[in-house]
Structure 1
Amino acid sequence: MKKNPKVLKDFLIYLTAIKGKSKRTRDEYEYDLTLFFKFLIALERDLDVTNLKEVSIDEVDVIFMQKISLEDMYLFLEYCEEVRKNSAVTRARKVATLKSFFKYLKTKNV
């Protein structure tokens, strides 16, 4: 597994060990969340969101999560549609990923 923040690692383990999700699903969720965090960090630092490869998500922690708003999620989905040209199906998966992750955070009292 890549070098991910602890909260993301814990969620990915939860997906396979507890929820019984496939490795492919886990990998897609990891990709979506990594992209989401990189996008938010790029916005925060006023970086170019068209090139997120160099953005590190090392600083993502519980405090970072608590600052995420619904508007941030809408901006991310708009970015996925306008900049990344993601299809409606791909954006729907990203919505499912975000819902699942934040539900996990809420139920785990993270």
Structure 2
Amino acid sequence: MLIFEGEDASLDSSNFNITRHPRTCVGLTKKGAVIMLVADGRNANAEGMSLFELTKIMRWLGCVSAINFDGGGSSTLWTAKEGVVNYPTDNRNWDHEGERKVANILYFKRR
């Protein structure tokens, strides 16, 4: 948890929290909008984010609640229209082909 009902979560200074990594985050605004964010990293083109930076960005986007999901090579944003839209890291190339096979997804469908 990064933000819950307007309050920042208490994050310690562990390496996982302070080091920049690819991150996947979902937040909710006061008006009920869902914000999905994937930050690329582990590449000269993108450094990733610390959890402190991710919290700050989600607040800037208007989120009153936000949670960090699995990151690294699991950080892949896919849309039905465009396929993979970010740059997953598992193949070590700056392309859309480096996604990791994972058993879990977060799925949103418009009504």
TM range (shorter): under 0.3
TM-score relative to the length of structure 1? 0.25
User: Comparing both structures, which one devotes a greater share of its residues to helix?
Assistant: 1
Q: In proportion to residue count, which structure has more strand?
A: 2
TM-score by length of 2: 0.25
